Amino acid sequence: MSVTRVLDKTSSLGALVSAMSCAGCFPALGSLGAAIGLGFLGQYEGFLFHKLLPGLAALAFLVNAWAWYRHRQFTRGLLSLLGPVAVLVALLLVWRYDWSIYLFYAGIALMLVMSILDLFRPVKVSTCRTSS
């Protein structure tokens, strides 16, 4: 498994776990996190929300941008970048608006869907090279 795939999965899962620990900010994910035993992370809510969550979303963006550059698949690359961008925009630019929570949830969901898609249908790397 390549480093980019591992970093992509780690950042997507980390962003989800960070969001699950912030019950005040993300009620749906917070209640799910509490139900599966992540309630103890509530004491770190400030750090997870202000530092770790945007950092992991930025890491997911960078890793997916690198993978898009390497594989040159437009649709898959665009979809893999939209999730982290939505999370970062929701957290850093439009958080004060009521609709930003929907943008955040859509971004997290898209990050997870694209990570799962990459597990089950990885990008086929072409080994043929044309010589000139």
| pLDDT tens sequence across 48-61 | 777 888 888 888 88
| Residue 108 located in a structural domain | yes
- Where are the strands (E) in the chain, listed by range? none
Residue 17 DSSP SS3: helix
Please give the average per-residue pLDDT across 29-41, as a whole number. 77
| Residue 98 located in a structural domain | yes
pLDDT given at position 78: 83
What domain count does the chain have?
1
User: Between 14 and 79, whose confidence is greater?
Assistant: 79
The two structure tokens encoding residue 80: 């893999």
| Structural domain boundaries, residue 20 | 3-120
Q: Are 87 and 58 in contact (CB under 8 A)?
A: no
| Residue 131 located in a structural domain | no
Tell me the pTM: 0.71
| Residue 129 located in a structural domain | no
| Amino acid (one-letter) located at 13 | L
The two structure tokens encoding residue 71: 């594989």
Share the mean pLDDT of the chain.
78
88 band by pLDDT with thresholds 50, 70 and 90: very high
Q: Which residues contact 21 (CB under 8 A, 6 or more apart)?
A: 30, 33, 38, 41, 42, 44, 45, 48
128 band by pLDDT with thresholds 50, 70 and 90: very low
Cα distances from 96 to residues 68, 71, 89, 93, 114, in angstroms, run 32, 37, 11, 8, 27
pLDDT given at position 85: 94
